[in-house]
Amino acid sequence: MLLSPPNILTCCNLICGCMATGAAFHGHFEWALGMIVLGAVFDFFDGMVARLLHISSPIGKELDSLADVVTFGVAPSAMLFQLFGMVHYPDIIAPLQPYLPYTAFVMAAFSALRLAKFNLDTRQTSSFIGLPTPANALFWASLTVTQLPFLVSQRFNAIFLFLFMLMFSFFLVAEVPLFALKFKNLSWADNRVKWIFIAGTLIAAVAMGVSAIPVIILWYIALSLLAWRLHFA
């Protein structure tokens, strides 16, 4: 059924992504962040509802990826585009100032590659390979909202922003395993990385509030890499 409950929720995710993109282009970063967060909520529940109702279709799968490209690819890239227009440009790259903002959409392309890869990669049933697009989108959106005074100050500049964007684009498609918050049981032995992550997340959230979101995403990446190197999960 075309207008099944899961597909309706997915369309709500898509609408949130479109609204976040429009808000970003108008410099309304708080609104854009809110719409990305709401889109992530719809993205979570569309899959849950599909499983509960035993509704699965090729259309739903394709629609989900299309919605995610907008909400978690195009929308944060639009915020990054605006941010490139606000940051400090050192003299060495000053001639690139009119053009560099458009490189923000490289991240949207890598987000699409990440989603296409996820759809075909049978290894990602219980964990992720590469940074999930919602985590990437929440990082950039929350960073822009909570750290804007620093990002547009003389202590930061467009070179750092460009390199940071390339690094996160690489992480989207990198062959690096990152844990998923899926519990088969609640034991420490089987879930120690997840419990450590949750504990660190709660501490950061209490101490920093909304400003903790980009820190939590970095904490997630760092802990996943450490677990991968030490061969425990």
Q: Which tens digit of pLDDT belongs to each residue from 156-167?
A: 999 999 999 999
The whole-chain average pLDDT of the chain stands at: 90
Would you state the pLDDT for residue 24? 97
pTM: 0.90
How far apart CA 150 and CA 118 sit, in angstroms, is 34
d(CA 199, CA 24): 32
What gap in Å lies between CA 6 and CA 172, rounded to an integer?
26
Backbone dihedral region for residue 180 (phi beyond 0: left; psi -120 to 50: alpha; all else: beta):
beta
**What does the angle CA 139 – CA 140 – CA 144 come to, to the nearest 5 degrees?**
115
pLDDT of residue 175: 86
The answer to whether residue 232 scores a pLDDT higher than 80 is: no
User: Phi and psi dihedrals of 132, rounded to 5?
Assistant: -60, 145
**Residues paired with 178 in a beta bridge:** 128
Q: List the beta bridge partners of residue 179.
A: 127
> Between the ranges 69-78, 173-182, 197-206, where is the mean pLDDT highest?
69-78
User: Which domains, ranges and CATH numbers included, belong to the chain?
Assistant: 5-175 (1.20.120.1760), 179-233 (no CATH)
Tens digit of each residue's pLDDT (9 = 90 or more) over 32-56: 999 999 999 999 888 778 778 777 7
More reliable by pLDDT, 97 or 126: 97
